[in-house]
Each structure stands twice: as C-alpha cells, then as structure tokens.
Structure 1
Amino acid sequence: MDAQELLKRYAAGERDFSNVNLVHACLTNANLVGTHLDGAHLIEANLRGADLTAAHLSQAKLNQVTLADANMIEVCLMSAELIDVDLSGANLTNANLSGADLSGVKLGGANLNGADLSHTDLRGADLRGADLSGANLKEAKLDGADLDGAYLENADLSGADIEAANMRRTGWVEANEPECTLG
C-alpha cells in the first residue's frame, strides 16, 4: 500500500491500517484522526503537520520520521520506536508514550501536557522549551536529555534517570522531582 491508497481508503471510511508498510511515505498535513496503525512501518515517512488525534500506533516503527507540528492529542504510541524522530512543535497532549523508545527525538517546543512518558527512553532527547506539565515521567530514562527551559509543573519524575541531563532554566513548580536516580 502507498500513501495515496491509504488516504483514499481513509476517505472511504476505513480506519484500520495495522501493520501497513509505508516506509518513505509522504503524508504531509494528512488527516488521519482515529486511525489504527498499530505495528505499522513508517520509517523515514513525512507526516509534518498531520492530524493523528486519537490514532493508535502501538509498537509502530517510526524511526527518522518527520512529525513536526503534528496534532497528536490522545495518540497511543505505547512501546513504539521513534528513534531520531522530529516532533518539534507537535501537540501530544494526553498522549500515551509509555515504554516507547524516543532516544534522540526532537521535542523542542512540543506540548506534552498530561502525557504518559513512564518507562520511556528519552536518552539524548531534545526537550528544550517543551511543556511537560502534568506529564508522567516515572522511571523515564532522561540521561543526556536537554530539558533547558522545559516546563515541568506537576510532572512526576519519580525514579527517572536524569544523569547528565541539562536541567537549566527548567520550570519545576510543584513537580515531583526525581529521587536521586543518577545512573
């Protein structure tokens, strides 16, 4: 299946595209609200500005994907692979990213308000200026992550590994700070 066929079938009312192979697909600004892409292979795809609100992408492979400025409110990305993905400026409000591999991801300026990032690998991630207020970061791996200017009001960082993370100018208002889990 290619991107055009997926969009045609979506327009016809189909929503389940689990395990589809869309490597290098161009889905810029695509409307994929409520789509099921569990286990899909979207490696190096371009989804800049796409609307993936309430989409299901559990265990999907999204390595090196462009999702900058995407609308991903309440998206489910449990145990997904998002290595070296560009999510800068994306809206991930109330998204479920628990257990996902987000190492090296670009989340600068992203809205992760209320997101579940528990047990997520964020090593080396760019979270500069990201809104992580109310986010669940329990047991998250943030080693080497850049959180400069990130907003963490009411975030839960209990058990998070923040060794070598850049926490300058981070807003900690009422955040549950990590319990010295350094390495």
Structure 2
Amino acid sequence: MFSTSIKTDELANAAKKLLARYASGERNFSEENFQGVRLRSADLRGTNLSSVNLSFANLRGCNFRVANMTKANMNGSYLIDANMSNADLRGISITDANLSNADMWEADLAGANLSGSNLFRANLGMADFTNANFSNTVLTDASFNKANVKNAIFTNADLMDANLSDALNLTPEQVKAARNWEFAAYSKDFRKKLGLPDPV
C-alpha cells in the first residue's frame, strides 16, 4: 500500500514538472520517460515527443496537435478524446490503447502500429496510414474520409459501421482480412469489387 502511494505521488510530480516546463516555453521532450503519467486534458501542442515513453499513460482529452511523436511508445495508453490532428506520428507504437473518439485528422501515421487498440468513432480523415498495422483493432464507427491506407494491415480488425467510402488505395484483400467488413460503408464502385449489393 505504501509503495503504491509513493508511485502515485511520483507520477503526479512528473506530470506537474512536465506541464511546468511546457508553460515556461520548453517544447523538446524527445526520448524522455513519462511512463504511466497522468496528463488528462493537457495542452501539449507543437511539442517534440519523438521516441518518448508514454506507455500506460492517462492522456484523455490531451491536445497533441502538430506535435512530433515519431517512434513514440504509447502502448496501453488512455487516449479517449485526444486531439492528434496534423501530428507527425510516423512509426509510433500505440498498441492495446484506447483511442475512442480520438481526432487524427491529417496526421501522418505511416508505419504506425495500432494493433489491438480501440478506435471507436475515431476521426481518421485525411491521415496517412501507409504500411500502418490495424490488426485486431476496433474500428467501429471510425471515419477514414480520404485517408491513405496503402498497404495497411486490417487483419481481424472490426470494421462494423466504419466509413471507408472515400478511403484511398484501399483494396478488397485488405478489407476481407477484417471482421464485419460487410457492414462497413464503401463507395458504390468498391462495393461491386467486394461483391456486395447496392445499399438499400
């Protein structure tokens, strides 16, 4: 019980120090370790978080807009309602994380590993997911409006009610590797490629 209390205090202090550094104008936190930190609703726009360790962190509602988060470790993190729009997320690892309702509009996630994560109702529009890994993810109600999914992996992902009608470079082979792909939204031409009837 005592050791748990110490750990909680350490995480709280780490969060306070990080936010104080940001408030003072510091923006470079590259390669630092913030594992397990609680930064709910924090504003970290424009920061350099490349190769940082933010695994198992509580980042609900955080603003990472335009941040550099290349090759960061965010595995197991809590990112509900997080704003990651226009961020550089190339090569990031966000496995087994909760990204429900997260905003990744126009973010660069080329080579990102999102396997096992929950992206329920996430806004993935205009993002680049070239070579990204969506295996075993929940993509229910997620929107891929004009997102580039070239060579992205959807093995065993749940596509129930996902909107892929304007996704770029999508192939039938990618889609059919997922679960519930029949119930996602596609363009009329792409539905024909999948052998699906026109929507009622």
SS of equivalent residue, structure 2 residue 182: coil
Q: Which of 161, 164, 167 lines up with 2:174 in the alignment?
A: 161
1:74-103: CA deviations, max 9, x gaps?
Answer: 111111111101110011101111101110
Residue 38, structure 1, aligned to residue 63, structure 2: no
More helix by share: 2
Q: Does residue 20 of the first structure (1) align with residue 32 of the second (2)?
A: yes
Measured after TM superposition, the shift of residue 154 of structure 1 is 1.8
The share of aligned pairs that are identical, in percent, is 36
Amino acid at match of 2:174: D
Name the structure 1 match of 2:78: 66
Measured in 2, the distance between the counterparts of 1:97 and 1:158 equals 19
Larger radius of gyration, structure 1 or 2? 2
1:129 counterpart SS class? coil
Query: For residues 38 and 133 of structure 1, do their structure 2 counterparts lie closer, same or farther at Cα, with a shift above 3 Å needed?
Result: same
Return 5+ residue gaps in structure 2 as ranges. 1-12, 195-200
SS of 1:2's partner is helix
Which of 106, 119, 126 in structure 1 is aligned with 2:118?
106
Give unmatched runs, 5+ long, in structure 1. none
Verify the 8 A CA contact 2:159 2:178 in the aligned structure 1: no
SS of residue matched to 2:20? helix
CA RMSD across the alignment: 1.9
Per the TM alignment, residue 175 of structure 1 is displaced from its structure 2 partner at its CA by 7.5
TM-score of the superposition, structure 2-length normalised? 0.84
Normalized against structure 1, the TM-score is what? Answer: 0.91
How much has 1:67 moved relative to structure 2? 0.6
Write the letter of the residue equivalent to 1:167. Answer: W
What's the offset of the Cα at 1:176? 6.2
Deviation sequence 1:133-162 (CA, Å, 0-9, x none): 101111011010011101112212148633
